[in-house]
């Protein structure tokens, strides 16, 4: 029997919430649309009033995640204040905080294989989040000589890859594993090595 209290306006979100819970429990490929409907307390037929299929449902979960992620990145960057370095480091810490606080969204965004090109709203949300990371990278490296300055998109991608690796190894991927250092410390020192290599930090930092 369907849960009582759902109206046309919030059934869509109830299905997204169910999707996120199932992603956390079983992974993005580990559940069916029928299971999502059951978790939300509705019939499978009701899902198709809002989503074309399971991938469409996961795409909406990812879109909402990117909206939250984008807001968090913008807040952390804070327009490059109080300094470009502090703002850049804040975005790295915010990345880890997001992965911890929103694991279902994180997996839907980065590990579900959802096609951004097939979902324009999702692509726009992802682009906004990526633009903030690139702005932080650009602001930090703007005084480097052009020949030593990496493209902002590459700079941001390097740091995102490092952040994702720390998340997978020490934050989400194996909760029982003992990390040699706190995830924040691993990321901060890794970014520090990267920035020193570019000449953006003094050697003795």
- Separation CA 190–CA 92 (nearest Å): 11
Q: Kindly report, residue by residue over 172-185, the tens digit of the pLDDT.
A: 655 555 667 788 88
- Separation CA 64–CA 41 (nearest Å): 21
pTM confidence score: 0.85
Domain 1-51 falls under CATH 1.10.10.60: yes
Q: Kindly report, residue by residue over 79-116, the tens digit of the pLDDT.
A: 889 988 888 889 988 999 999 999 999 999 999 998 88
Q: Kindly report, residue by residue over 115-161, the tens digit of the pLDDT.
A: 888 899 999 999 999 999 899 888 888 888 888 888 888 988 998 89
- Separation CA 129–CA 68 (nearest Å): 9
pLDDT at 56: 93
| DSSP code at position 167 | I
CATH code given to domain 58-197? 1.10.357.10
pLDDT at 2: 41
Per domain, the residue ranges of the chain are: 1-51, 58-197
pLDDT at 1: 39
Contacts of residue 38, defined as CB under 8 A and 6 or more positions apart, other chains included, come to: none
Q: Kindly report, residue by residue over 20-72, the tens digit of the pLDDT.
A: 999 999 999 999 999 999 999 998 888 888 998 899 999 999 999 999 999 99
Provide the sign of the torsion angle of the four alpha carbons 141, 139, 96, 172, taken in this order: negative
- Separation CA 98–CA 141 (nearest Å): 25
Determine the 3-state secondary structure of 172 from DSSP. Answer: coil
pLDDT at 46: 87
Residue 3 has pLDDT above 80, yes or no: no
């Amino acid at each position: 029997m369907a849960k009582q209290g759902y109206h046309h306006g919030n059934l869509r979100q109830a299905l997204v919430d169910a999707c996120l819970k199932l992603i956390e429990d079983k992974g993005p490929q580990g559940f069916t649309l029928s299971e999502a409907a059951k978790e939300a307390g509705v019939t499978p037929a009701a899902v198709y009033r809002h989503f074309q299929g399971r991938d469409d449902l996961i795409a909406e979960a990812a879109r909402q995640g990117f909206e939250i992620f984008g807001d968090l990145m913008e807040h952390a960057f804070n327009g490059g204040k109080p300094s470009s370095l502090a703002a850049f480091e804040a975005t790295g810490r915010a990345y880890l905080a997001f992965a911890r606080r929103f694991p279902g969204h994180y997996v839907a965004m980065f590990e579900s294989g959802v096609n951004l090109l097939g979902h324009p709203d999702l692509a726009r949300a992802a682009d906004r989040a990526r633009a903030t990371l690139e702005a932080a990278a650009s602001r930090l490296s703007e005084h480097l000589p052009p020949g030593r300055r990496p493209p902002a998109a590459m700079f941001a991608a390097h740091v995102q890859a490092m952040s994702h690796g720390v998340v997978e190894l020490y934050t989400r991927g194996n909760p029982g594993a003992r990390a040699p250092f706190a995830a924040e410390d691993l990321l901060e020192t890794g970014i520090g090595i990267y920035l020193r290599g570019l000449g953006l930090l003094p050697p003795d930092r």
